[in-house]
């Protein structure tokens, strides 16, 4: 490679056959001012030893846009400067000397509107296997309004979901049917009925319940809807159960979704592993059929959890809000699964705000205007119980589905009692919060008071009083030193 | 049975003092509070009858509590709920809703089943109360 590698090579020299550094090819433009219509990505790059971080950033820009490893004369047939992604800023990551945040701007014309598949094929396509980097992580993206507007967004959204369910002013309550595998349709429906009649709003299929030898999907749907309708009549309240329509082909998923609709279900569910295009197709279907669409983020931890390589969940949350799901699992903080409080708040902000201001302490690198796209209901699920109600409401707020699976079905007095315990704990805490009480600190007292008139809650508090999942999180913000402990 | 619509149905019936605090919380958030009543609490019966308009410019829960007392004089044998409406852009809907009055007897609902093709069933939830004409239910 020749010449001063910090300078962009111009004219005929630029297109001479051979290999240039990415900086020389024009992928590093430190004085570039991103346009309002640019898509911006911030990557955490860990260059190989001896690789200059600016060159590494330029390489990421190149490989995620127009470049290949060698100079090609056919670039000259195009408006190359427009199509080249531009790395324009590289910051050292606080407390991580070998890592850098690289900011890269992409012209809007690089992307097909309304296609997460196309966006991701560029941004996380080839570049993650690129040899000059030890590791690469997509930390955040700024999606311009012009691009946001090419998506339909959540099929239903938080407000309309609440209107349809006639449930306002408190988190919704759910539970995943357990054991996740092995129940027959008839036994499965029993769990649904008990939990809904006991006081939950929703029950849920687990991510890997599809159509196995122990339970064909139609059996599950039929028994679940019997349970939903019976519980609705027993309580006078709208109930639902997320019927998982995940299947091997789109045709099968449509067939299952249509059957759910025919049976009168108000919600269906899909797994993240079905892929971005399938998710967008199901979102369109949900919108056409007045159906709430629940997304289980099955598989995400394979690429979201480690800090140096992969894709942050905040980016996945942004893509899913564009793609159009109504519910997304976004962490509990206090439960059994990974979740630093500040980072998790960032995910919830992405789901629920109309405008996200830049909040580095929550891991949000950019202002993000959602241009009136519907809001997406976050779901907190995994190892939570009634005794944590004050913490859950404090950390996660009101527009969230709190899912107590084991915390309902594992109740010593039975499933309906478990559901009642959760509902009473929730209502007592919301009442206290609205009355202006210091519910976070008085939480245990508020629960104890409520338990005086509710023996299921008393039993729940006794059984699970010492359960916490106190481990250090791996995915924490870089701008505030944190050690995560569930409170 | 006890209908569990609204935010606080699993708690003992709220006292007027408790209701006042919830209403003041709503007002302090800038939401317009109002009362609605019905003798048909079917879960899909969205439009309960309005007891006046939402109070858009009222700073004090006492005004709503006065109306609640008036409403109870007339419809004390029906369901009455407090509704708080938030006109903020991006919400423009109900923020909180809870029942503040119930009939002495809550007859609940019957689930009717119609057997369809295969094993499908068509379900219909019917309020027992509506077996009687409006005005004479819960009497």
Per-residue pLDDT tens digits for B18-28: 999 999 999 99
Using pLDDT thresholds of 50, 70 and 90, give the confidence band for residue A69: confident
The DSSP code for A364 is: B
User: What is residue A41's DSSP assignment?
Assistant: E
Q: Where are the domains of chain B?
A: 16-106
Query: Catalytic residue at A309?
Result: no
Among A240-249, A301-310, A469-478, B73-82, whose mean pLDDT is lowest? A469-478
Model confidence at A336: pLDDT above 80: no
A204 is in an annotated binding site: yes
* Whether the Cβ atoms of residue A57 and residue A85 lie closer than 8 Å to each other: no
Residue A73: pLDDT over 90: no
Claim to verify: residue A59 and residue A207 sit in the same structural domain: no
Pairwise CA distance, residues A63 & A84, whole Å: 10
* One domain, residues A106 and A204: no
Instruction: Give pLDDT tens digits for A12-44.
Output: 888 888 778 888 889 999 999 999 999 999 999
Q: What is the pLDDT at residue A186?
A: 96
**Residue A329 annotated as binding site:** yes
Three-class secondary structure of residue A246 per DSSP: coil
Residue-level pLDDT at A470: 63
* Catalytic choice (A197, A296, A318, A362): A296
> Of the candidates A402, A365, A362, A367, which has an alpha carbon nearest to the alpha carbon of residue A386?
A402
Q: Tell me the pLDDT of chain A averaged across its residues.
A: 93
Domain that holds residue A109: 11-148
More confident position, A407 or B60:
B60
Contact call for A427 and B11, based on CB within 8 A = yes
Measured in angstroms, the CA of A472 and the nearest CA of chain B are apart by 35
What mean pLDDT do residues A368-377 have?
Answer: 97
The domain covering B16-106 belongs, at the CATH homologous superfamily level, to Ribulose bisphosphate carboxylase, small subunit (3.30.190.10)
pLDDT at A46: 96
Q: Return all residues near A219 (Cβ < 8 A) that are at least 6 apart.
A: A184, A185, A186
- Please give the pLDDT value at position A47: 95
> What pLDDT, on a 0 to 100 scale, did the predictor assign at position A1?
42
Which run of H or E residues covers position A444? helix A439-452
One domain, residues A129 and A235: no
Same domain, A430 and A369: yes
Residue of B nearest to A167 (CA): B6
pLDDT tens across A160-194, in order? 999 999 999 999 999 999 998 999 999 999 999 99
Query: Which residues in chain A touch residue B21, judged by CB atoms under 8 angstroms apart?
Result: 434-436
Q: Calculate mean pLDDT across residues A140-169.
A: 98
- The pairing of beta strand A401-403 with beta strand A377-381: parallel
Assigned domain for A100 exists = yes
Q: What is the mean pLDDT of residues A394-423?
A: 95
Q: Mean pLDDT for chain B? A: 95
Same domain, A272 and A325: yes
Q: Per-residue pLDDT for A235 more than 80?
A: yes
**Domain edge (last residue) among A94, A115, A148:** A148
At A39, phi and psi to the nearest 5?
-85, 130
Q: How far apart are CA B59 and CA B62, in angstroms?
A: 9
Give yes or no for residue A129 having a pLDDT over 70.
yes
Percent of chain B surpassing pLDDT 70: 99
Q: What is the H or E stretch that residue A148 is in?
A: helix A145-148
Instruction: For an interface test with B, give the residue of A158, A161, A164, A169 to mutate (most B CBs within 10 A).
Output: A169
- Residue A469: the pLDDT is 67
* Domain finish residue from A129, A148, A167: A148
Residue A486 lies in a domain: no
Inform me whether the pLDDT recorded for B47 exceeds 90.
yes
Whether residue A242 sits in one domain with residue A210: yes
Pick A166's closest partner by Cβ from B18, B22, B43. Answer: B43
Q: DSSP 3-state assignment of B130? A: helix
Contact criterion met (CB < 8 Å) for B108 and A233: yes
Same domain, A144 and A203: no
Identify whether residues A304 and A452 lie together within a single domain.
yes
Whole-number pLDDT of residue A487: 43
Residue A9 C-alpha from the chain's centroid? 42
Residues of chain B contacting A, Cβ within 8 Å: 1, 3-5, 7-12, 14, 18, 21-22, 25, 41-44, 46, 84, 89-98, 108-111, 119-123, 125
CB nearest A428 (choices: B11, B96, B111): B11
Spatial CA neighbour of A477 closest among A361, A315, A352: A361
Shortest CA gap A80–chain B (Å):
40
User: Residue A338 has what pLDDT?
Assistant: 61
A109 annotated ligand-binding residue: no
Q: A102 with A53: CB under 8 angstroms?
A: yes
- CATH number of the CATH domain containing A137: 3.30.70.150
Does residue A173 sit in the same domain as residue A296? yes
Q: For residues A424 and B10, is the Cβ–Cβ distance under 8 A?
A: yes
**pTM > 0.90:** yes
CB A322 within 8 A of CB A152: no
CB contact at 8 A, A51 and A100: no
**CA dist., res. A274 & res. A290, Å (int):** 21
Interface of A with B (CB under 8 A): 159, 162-163, 166, 168-170, 199, 222, 225-226, 229-230, 232-238, 262-264, 354, 372, 375, 420, 423-424, 427-428, 430-431, 434-436, 450, 453
pLDDT for A416-451, tens place per residue? Answer: 999 999 999 999 999 999 999 999 999 999 999 999
Answer yes or no: is pLDDT of A109 > 70. Answer: yes
Q: Which has the closest alpha carbon to B7: A151, A140, A172, A291?
A: A172
Do B1 and A234 make contact, defined as CB atoms within 8 angstroms?
Answer: yes
Chain A CB contacts of B109 below 8 Å: 232-234, 236
Confidence of residue A309 (pLDDT cuts 50, 70, 90): very high
Evaluated on CA atoms A408, A412, A417, A422, the torsion sign reads negative
Give the active site residue among A178, A230, A309, A336.
Answer: A178
Per-residue confidence band for A3, with pLDDT thresholds at 50, 70 and 90: low
The DSSP call for residue B59 is: -
CB distance A350 to A139 below 8 Å: no
Active site residue A296: yes
- Condensed to tens digits (0 to 9), the pLDDT of residues B113-137 reads 999 988 899 999 999 988 888 888 8
Angle (CA) A287-A288-A289 rounded to 5° is 95
- My answer on whether A134 and A184 are in the same domain is no
The answer to whether A474 and A306 are in contact (CB under 8 A) is: yes
**Domain edge (last residue) among A148, A180, A198:** A148
Separation of alpha carbons A376 and A95, rounded Å? 34
Same domain for A161 and A144: no
pLDDT grade, residue A249 (50/70/90)? very high
Rounded to an integer, the average pLDDT of A382-390 is: 90
φ/ψ of A88, rounded to 5, equals -130, -5
Cβ contact A457:A404 at 8 Å:
no
Q: How far apart, in Å, are the Cα atoms of A427 and each of A96, A106, A443?
A: 45, 47, 12
Number of domains making up chain A = 2
**Are residues A201 and A293 located together in one domain of the fold?**
yes
Q: What percent of chain A has pLDDT above 70?
A: 95
């Amino acid at each position: 490679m020749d010449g001063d590698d910090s300078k962009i090579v111009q004219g005929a020299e630029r297109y001479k056959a051979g290999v240039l550094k990415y900086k020389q090819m024009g992928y590093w433009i430190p004085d570039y001012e991103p346009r309002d219509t640019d898509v911006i990505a911030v990557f955490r790059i860990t260059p190989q030893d001896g690789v200059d971080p600016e060159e590494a950033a330029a390489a990421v820009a190149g490989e995620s846009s127009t470049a290949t490893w060698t100079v090609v004369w056919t670039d000259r047939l195009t408006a190359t400067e427009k199509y080249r992604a531009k790395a324009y800023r590289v910051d050292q990551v606080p407390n991580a000397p070998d890592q850098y945040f690289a900011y890269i701007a992409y012209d809007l014309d690089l992307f097909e509107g309304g296609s997460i598949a196309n966006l991701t094929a560029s941004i996380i396509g080839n570049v993650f296997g690129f040899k000059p980097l030890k590791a690469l992580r997509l930390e955040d993206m700024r999606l311009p309004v012009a691009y946001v507007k090419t998506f339909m967004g959540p099929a239903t959204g938080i407000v309309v979901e609440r209107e349809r369910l006639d449930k306002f002013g408190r988190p919704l309550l759910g539970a995943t049917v357990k054991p996740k595998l092995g129940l027959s349709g008839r036994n499965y429906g029993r769990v649904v009925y008990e939990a809904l009649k006991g006081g939950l709003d929703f029950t849920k299929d687990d991510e890997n319940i599809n159509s196995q030898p122990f339970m064909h999907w139609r059996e599950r749907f039929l028994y679940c809807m019997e349970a939903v309708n019976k519980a609705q009549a027993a309580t006078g309240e709208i109930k639902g159960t997320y019927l998982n329509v995940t299947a091997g082909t789109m045709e099968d998923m449509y067939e299952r979704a249509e059957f759910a609709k025919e049976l009168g279900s108000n919600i269906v569910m899909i797994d993240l592993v079905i892929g971005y295009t399938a998710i967008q197709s199901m979102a369109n279907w949900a919108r056409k059929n007045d159906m709430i669409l629940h997304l289980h983020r099955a598989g995400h931890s394979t690429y979201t959890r480690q800090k140096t390589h992969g894709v942050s969940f905040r980016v996945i949350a942004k893509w899913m809000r564009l793609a159009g799901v109504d519910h997304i699992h976004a962490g509990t903080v206090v439960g059994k699964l990974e979740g630093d409080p500040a980072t998790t708040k960032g995910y919830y902000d992405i789901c629920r705000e109309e405008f996200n201001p830049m909040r580095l302490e929550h891991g949000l690198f950019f202002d993000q205007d959602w241009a009136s796209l519907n809001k997406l209901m976050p779901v907190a699920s995994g190892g939570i119980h009634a005794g944590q109600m004050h913490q859950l409401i404090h950390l996660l707020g009101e527009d969230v589905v709190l899912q107590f699976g084991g915390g309902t079905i594992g109740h010593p007095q039975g499933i309906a009692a478990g559901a009642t315990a959760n509902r009473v704990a929730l209502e007592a805490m919301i009442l206290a919060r609205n009355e202006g009480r210091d519910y976070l600190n008085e939480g245990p007292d508020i629960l104890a008071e409520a338990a005086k008139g509710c023996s299921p809650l008393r039993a729940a508090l006794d059984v699970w009083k010492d359960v916490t999942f106190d481990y250090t999180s791996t995915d924490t913000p870089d701008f505030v030193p944190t050690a995560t402990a569930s409170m | 049975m006890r209908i569990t619509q609204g935010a606080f149905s699993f708690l003992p019936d709220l006292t007027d003092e408790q209701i006042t605090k919830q209403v003041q919380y709503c007002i302090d958030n800038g939401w317009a509070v109002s009362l609605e009543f019905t003798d048909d609490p079917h879960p899909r019966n969205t439009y309960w009858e309005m007891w006046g308009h939402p109070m858009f410019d009222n700073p004090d829960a006492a005004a709503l509590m006065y109306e609640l007392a008036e409403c109870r004089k007339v419809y004390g044998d029906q369901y009455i709920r407090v509704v708080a409406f938030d006109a903020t852009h991006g919400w423009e809907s109900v923020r909180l809703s809870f029942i503040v009055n119930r009939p002495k007897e809550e007859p609940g609902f019957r689930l009717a089943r119609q057997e369809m093709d295969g094993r499908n069933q068509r379900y219909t939830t019917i309020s027992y109360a509506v077996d009687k004409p409006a005005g004479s239910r819960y009497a």
